[in-house]
């Protein structure tokens, strides 16, 4: 079911249907391992630690709000994807979820490739030593400069998103005296079971070329005639935060049918298909994500079966998980500032960040969990809404959750599963300073993206 983001404009307290939030948890101090990074644990004192370092120490050293990434967990997840897909497939981490040079190095070391979708992401990837041939370049409106930058760098593939781009990339490659490896992104007509703003494979949207009406077949026809292009495969991305494999199954079937049609028409078997990203993670205990090995097995079986039926050689598969790798590995640490109880309704807990460090709740009605992490508490759970410090009532971080009723200003609370699309979508709204990203591992913490300063703001404002 898709929902619209703002049923009542700026959020009103009464738009939620009765009972849409779950009952109070049995233990408000418990940390569900589904939503918290691998090394997050509550120590004997009741304080939460990550990578062996307590949150009070982290808050003191790095301030709040701040994102803490569990490096051990990130590497384990990246490795799990790599291992699950094996040597006959490629895993491209989707940098849009969160990208920094440390992340690029971890990915490189763990044997993953990288999907970038802007000149900025490409520059970050290259500057951290990701080999260009392991980078895929995406985007529905790449600029001429970006295309030139990507081809000159020698990226492994550019994913063509429109008829104009087929000609544009071919022309630029040819003028640079090269042939660029490309895939064509098709929209397979699947509407993934997710929020309408992030479902991308149905046809009424800006991305890709429709399989319908022979458009994708026409795109292949054109790409095959252009000297500047080496067409290596077909790409499909059906949406985000998807739990149900059925959408991928339909997508794979339709992409393989296109490969068969291309073989029949041109006598060419395209060697690769990319099934995109979009695999869901647990934001709350109610979510049940699939493990990478289950996903790899399911996708591999679908493609093999369809190719056997069409008498095609099985193409090399690639996938582009972003959220599923980085999402669960980080949490945002906030300090509680003010608390406003509304009798019989809920308690508003204001923290020192908000929609500038996590826009997903306001934008997609995203659900999050939250926990008191600087101590435990025996107090009764209370229904809270965690809100930020920005000047609008839609500035919500966690819509409905339970925290202990003795919560007080100065307590530290943390929101798990904020590794994906939080720092990468952070803004300077109200001239907020974007928080740092700190990597924690084996008792050591280091800043990988520093906190913005007022000087940074003034440097951009040239007066
Ligand atoms: N590949 C392509 C071509 C994509 O467009 C995306 C995401 C991915 C891979 C990675 O998807 P993931 O595995 O991370 O779901 N800001 C939204 C998500 C937008 C996703 C855009 N494309 C959110 O916060 O939910």
Going by C-alpha positions, the residue among 181, 125, 117, 121 that lies closest to residue 154 is 181
From 197, 278, 327, mutation site for ligand 1 pocket: most ligand atoms within 8 A of C-beta: 278
H or E, element range at 222: helix 215-225
Q: What's the pLDDT tens digit per position in 252-292? A: 999 999 999 999 999 999 999 999 999 999 999 999 999 99
From 3, 92, 94, mutation site for ligand 1 pocket: most ligand atoms within 8 A of C-beta: 94
State the pairing for strand pair 135-137/113-116.
Answer: parallel
Mean pLDDT, to the nearest integer, of 6-14? 34
H or E, element range at 440: strand 437-441
Q: Looking at the predicted structure, is the pLDDT value of residue 305 above 50?
A: yes
Going by C-alpha positions, the residue among 241, 259, 462, 247 that lies closest to residue 368 is 241
**pLDDT-above-70 percentage for the chain:** 93
Q: What's the pLDDT tens digit per position in 120-152? A: 999 999 999 999 999 999 999 999 999 999 999
7: confidence class by pLDDT, cuts 50, 70, 90: very low
Is the beta carbon of 71 within 6 A of some atom in ligand 1? no
21 is in an annotated binding site: no
> For position 392, what pLDDT does the model report?
96
Q: Which member of 117, 307, 391, 422 is catalytic?
A: 391
Look up 391 and say whether it is catalytic: yes
Total-model pTM: 0.94
Torsion of the alpha carbons at 354, 359, 364 and 369, rounded to the nearest 10? -50
Q: What's the pLDDT tens digit per position in 176-235? A: 999 999 999 999 988 665 555 555 556 778 999 999 899 999 999 999 999 999 999 999
Atom index in ligand 1 nearest the CA of residue 159 equals 3
Q: What's the pLDDT tens digit per position in 79-130? A: 999 999 999 899 999 999 999 999 999 999 999 999 999 999 999 999 999 9
Atom index in ligand 1 nearest the CA of residue 278 equals 15
Is the beta carbon of 419 within 6 A of some atom in ligand 1? no
| Residue given tokens 């509407």 in the structure block | 191
Domains in the chain (CATH in brackets) are 10-70+328-460 (2.40.37.10), 138-321 (3.20.20.10)
DSSP secondary structure of 126-187:
HHTT--GGGEEE--SS--HHHHHHHHHHT-SEEEE-SHHHHHHHHHHHHHTT--EEEEEEEE
> For position 13, what pLDDT does the model report?
38
Query: How far is residue 123 from each of residues 95, 99, 112, 153, measured CA to CA in Å?
Result: 12, 11, 17, 10
């Amino acid at each position: 079911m898709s929902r619209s983001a703002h049923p009542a404009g700026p959020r009103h307290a009464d738009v939620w249907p009765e009972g849409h939030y779950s009952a109070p948890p049995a233990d408000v101090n418990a940390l569900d391992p589904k939503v918290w990074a691998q090394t997050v644990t509550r120590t004997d004192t009741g304080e939460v630690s990550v990578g062996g370092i307590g949150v009070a120490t982290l808050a003191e050293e790095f301030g709040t709000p701040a994102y803490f990434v569990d490096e051990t967990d990130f590497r384990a997840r990246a490795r799990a994807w790599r291992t699950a897909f094996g040597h006959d497939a490629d895993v491209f981490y989707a940098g849009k979820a969160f990208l920094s040079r440390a992340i690029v190095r971890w990915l490189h070391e763990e044997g993953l490739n990288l999907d970038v979708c802007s000149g900025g992401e490409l520059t970050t990837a290259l500057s951290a030593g990701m080999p260009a041939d392991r980078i895929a370049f995406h985007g529905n409106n790449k600029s001429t400069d970006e295309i030139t930058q990507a081809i000159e760098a020698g990226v492994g593939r550019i994913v063509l998103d429109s008829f104009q781009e087929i000609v544009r990339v071919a022309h630029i490659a040819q003028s640079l005296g090269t042939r660029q490896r490309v895939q064509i992104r098709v929209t397979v007509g699947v509407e993934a079971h997710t929020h309408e703003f992030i479902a991308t494979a149905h046809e009424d949207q800006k991305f890709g070329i429709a399989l319908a009406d022979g458009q994708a077949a026409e795109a292949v026809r054109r790409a095959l005639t252009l000297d500047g292009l080496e067409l290596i495969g077909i790409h499909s991305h059906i949406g985000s935060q998807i739990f149900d494999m059925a959408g991928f199954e339909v997508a794979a079937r339709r992409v393989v049918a296109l490969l068969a049609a291309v073989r029949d028409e041109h006598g060419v078997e395209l060697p690769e298909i990319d099934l995109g990203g979009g695999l869901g993670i647990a934001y709350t205990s109610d979510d049940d994500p699939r493990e990478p090995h289950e996903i790899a097995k399911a996708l591999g079986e679908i493609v093999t079966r369809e190719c056997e039926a069409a008498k095609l050689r099985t193409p090399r598969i690639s996938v582009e998980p972003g959220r599923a790798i980085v999402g669960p590995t980080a949490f945002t640490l906030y300090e509680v500032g003010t608390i406003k109880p509304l009798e019989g309704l809920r308690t508003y807990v204001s923290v020192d960040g908000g929609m500038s460090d996590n826009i997903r709740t306001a934008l997609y009605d995203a659900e999050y969990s939250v926990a008191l992490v600087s101590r435990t508490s025996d107090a009764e759970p209370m229904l809270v809404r965690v809100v930020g410090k920005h000047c609008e009532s839609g500035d919500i971080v966690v819509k409905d959750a339970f925290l202990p009723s003795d919560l007080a200003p100065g307590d530290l609370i943390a929101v798990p599963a904020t590794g994906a699309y939080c720092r990468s979508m952070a803004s300077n709204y109200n001239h907020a300073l974007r928080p740092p990203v700190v990597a924690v591992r084996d008792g050591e913490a280091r800043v990988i993206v520093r906190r913005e300063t007022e000087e940074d703001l003034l440097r951009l404002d040239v007066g």
